[in-house]
Amino acid sequence: MVLTNMKGGVGKTTDTDLLAITASKPSLFNQKVLLIDVDLQANTTSNVKRTFNQRHFPQSFVKAVQSGTLKNAIFPLTKNLDFIAGSIAEHELTDTIIDNSKSKRDRYLYLVKMVDEIKYDYDYIFFDVAPSTDTVVDAIIMASDYIIAVQEVRKMAMEGTSNFIGKYLQPMLDNFPEEAHFQVAGVLPALLTSHKKRQIENYRETVEVYGRDNVFHTIIKNHDRLENFGEDGVSLEDYNDRKMFGLFADLFCELEARISSFEKTGDVENFTYQSKYFDALENITLPLGKEIEINGVAE
């Protein structure tokens, strides 16, 4: 699973981290999750260090790929959440892939066997990737089952999402019809400020362009608490933290429903989702959200 786009600054790292943590919490969804940091900035690794009070990891993603297996880099953070750290040496991975590939096809499929080796140990594997379309991202996309296109509700970002799907993902599917098996789970609207009329118009235009079925009903609004998570680590210590966990609980529920639809019908036609934990537009915690226990994060 990859949450990405070609534009930075949309909160994809925080979104990926929170989605992984929420999915893995025993008191919520109790999924076995692996979170992998592939971004050159290694922001997920910094966030994990702050959240789980960990400073050292056995091996970075780069070193693991260079060794030929991801197994030795896996570090358990909690009962259900494992992690592979990133590093500022991520740029070396491009050279590794190119130097060890005889063709474009080999470059695109470079990580597939390594991911296949571990994927059956997990319910979900989340990659945090750089906001780019380079050789490393190509290989990760080809090893993934689902892509979430995170889109800031601004005009330029909307155009970027269209290019990302139409000019990057679709050619990959066309050029490698046998090997590329990923689906776009949907477009995830992010950084929405509900009182800004222009952003609301852009959000509605996004729905019109891609269709209601293809745009997540769950919306990631601008929240100070999400920014704090990115700065201080993820917490669940008060009702504002609980709102954010409720928001990402809805995102995970909707993601599972979308995956189920793809697996059953091959599409998300006539798809609907009703928030259960947190109404982002109204900023209201819903009944299931109120049941989220405020008891920290590292379980």
Nearest 5°: phi and psi at 42?
Answer: 55, 40
Provide the whole-model pTM: 0.94
> How do the residues of the chain divide into helix, strand and coil, expressed in percent and rounded to 5?
50, 15, 35
What pLDDT is stored for residue 92 in this prediction?
86
CA distance 234 to 81: 14
- Kindly give, in sequence order, each residue whose CB lies less than 8 Å from that of residue 272, ignoring residues fewer than 6 positions away: 217
Fold of 2-291: Rossmann fold (3.40.50)
| β-pair partners for 101 | none
Please count the CA atoms within 13 angstroms of the CA of 9 that sit on its side-chain side: 4
| β-pair partners for 192 | 221
Per-residue pLDDT for the chain (299 aa), expressed as one digit of tens each? 999 876 655 578 999 999 999 999 999 999 999 999 998 888 999 999 999 999 899 999 999 999 999 999 999 999 999 999 998 776 789 999 999 999 999 999 999 999 999 999 999 999 999 877 889 999 999 999 999 999 877 666 677 788 889 899 999 999 999 999 999 999 998 865 655 677 777 788 888 888 899 999 998 887 888 888 988 899 999 999 999 999 999 999 999 999 999 999 999 988 999 999 999 888 899 999 999 999 888 77
What pLDDT is stored for residue 120 in this prediction?
96
CA distance 66 to 97: 9
Map out the domains of the chain as residue ranges.
2-291
Helix (H) or strand (E) holding 278: strand 278-279
Distance of CA 227 to the CA centre of its chain: 17
What pLDDT is stored for residue 204 in this prediction?
84
- Kindly give, in sequence order, each residue whose CB lies less than 8 Å from that of residue 294, ignoring residues fewer than 6 positions away: 236, 237, 238, 239, 241, 242
* Cβ pair 149, 164 in contact under 8 A: yes
Nearest 5°: phi and psi at 298?
Answer: -70, 95
What does the block give as tokens for 236? Answer: 């669940």
What pLDDT is stored for residue 242 in this prediction?
95
CA distance 180 to 269: 22
